[in-house]
Structure 1
């Protein structure tokens, strides 16, 4: 069966409610007398309301809808097998730019870009050896924001034991881990970092169970890079009266007295900016864009000042400036961490 017929079948299946993907209605209308640009995204398995990575991406599209009138939509993935069919649905809807949110979609986006050369695609957290001309890759220096929250954890721990919960043991999450460990080490050489991976980004119960064990072992602050799994950790922190550090977006609203800071990864800004460039006729296809502290792509949450003393904030700001000025490169691997003086 040819690919167009396949996509027509899939779109019809969604209409009948037989697929798991969920479409957010696009904004109808025109921009400046012309049809508005259509931008859609396919979520990773955490879903669009994961309070983390996917939600941040969707917020970036919503901002684009408000600011410059793009028409937006999404397809939710409940499993990895949903990626390709969800991309096909957006193709069938003649979406001008289709985003894959998460490194797991790297192969599916690459195949779609080859099959549909007249469409444009974006991929978050994936860098190809040779980026196709109709694809833009976006990656982040997650280790830089993680280093800053590690500094805060190292300064604020009362037990000299903190924790890290990762979603999956893969390079992009390891960057969070080793950046965090480097920050803790810089701020408090005596502190121990308890590390555990949950092997899931959409299992809050698992995150809560791991966090409780870490708190019982003496950790008083835990940082997560685990998507919706990490919301379980935050719930455990609230119940245990301990501290938590959020990720991707400012998660203080989930437990205002417990989430002392968040390592923000501005997926929303990246998707907003690239989508705007498409609307302006300047799509950066064939490239991979890197967002770090210097580019405003990562940082600590603006609510950090609610729970972190000013002297620690000043210390973190000084360290942040050294990174921006190129005086210090944050470790992103175990080898780089071990080599850090």
Structure 2
């Protein structure tokens, strides 16, 4: 883990969904990572890896049939897992805020933009309607929305996708949170708007001094915006490192597979190297390492026993048997690098 002071520490977080017939699906299965103060942590992985459920667990927004079964979520040393709903309402949108994936479904269609943003001020700061309106206009200016005095009276459907996402950012930052969780905030936007939104988040982070968790499947975005990276696969963190280390010297076979599958300027589209196989079903996980069925280096040990998330450097962790004394495969296989 990072040696820097952390605003958030997650230890062995376990979140499950309980379906018919007492069928338990472990969506988040022993996740551990930390978020340094003032820094950005990127959480990456394929769809279904548990990224968004981890984020929702931090804010305790997991509803029936989901449940946080165990672990710790330490926010400035306060364990949110043990916090009451009353305590969480004081934290959500105030000290920890979240930008959701799709603004059109996250914004309420029957309330104006101004009404939805001002709610944070009235709930958390007790401001009057007049004071809230002034604050809302300031926030809309801050996130780069033109004519904010006009926009506050408009409904979400009257705004473009980029404008709606800026409104979501304004809502999330209204109370100057200490931690911002951005869950795929640019997925539905075109490349130009995506770049503007990412730049906006970086500028506001510098201005407000907040920490950021950036959830994405886009490693290019991670390289540009993040300080640390947690790679998730099947509900578990398989690698944690600072962003430069991860891209220069990836360790876990899954991380290497993700990097190898990226298009590069010196190659044709046909030369992309996909990760073979598919992600296992959540209700039928392999007995050993979750990635073993798709890993070209897997041995019997990998298929039979799940590795721990172990420290292998000052701020680097890996969940892979290759880096342990128990490894029973090729002794020369120690470090992976993306193919050039």
TM-score by length of 2: 0.29
Q: Which has the higher contact order (CA 8 A, sep 6+)?
A: 2
- For normalisation by structure 1, the TM-score amounts to 0.29
Question: Which structure has greater helix proportion?
Answer: 1
